[in-house]
Homo-oligomer: A and B are copies of this chain.
């Protein structure tokens, strides 16, 4: 039967030993979106017009959250990540975020990409929450990963 690697044989949580793993070039891409009312979406668009700081604020929040991942997720290893890129795209009823994190190291950066994406979307939520209380953050998932022993992987469309 499948078991969670983050629990030892007695069921106690522990930080898995990655000390013996090789350092390889790794990357992970995650995505997510925040759905909102047309009025809120319009306000974000306007707030992001030239000189407006909306998406820049969310992007910085996401980048900084990637660096805090091991401080937020109890069993994550502290990782000296090499790069973080976050892009946003406006959909009809949502804003879409996509994050890529890279590392040369002993374990993957999926959690860093997912945490950055979540923090970026929560930051948009914070800025728009006075206009719309029904926003929903969803579709937060891994798109692809590369490097490491388990090899490359891509989500199906």
Contact = CB atoms under 8 A, between A and B. Distances in A.
A79 B76 CA distance: 14
Contacts of A104: 19
Interface in A33-59: 39-40, 42-44, 46-47, 49-54, 56-57, 59
B142 A140 contact: no
B68 A72 contact: yes
Interface string A108-147: 0011001100110011011111110111111111100100
A42 B4 CA distance: 10
Interface residues of A, number: 96
Contacts of A15: 63, 66, 81-85
Interface of A: 1-8, 10-19, 25, 32, 39-40, 42-44, 46-47, 49-54, 56-57, 59-61, 63-68, 70-87, 102-106, 110-111, 114-115, 118-119, 122-123, 125-131, 133-142, 145, 153, 155-156
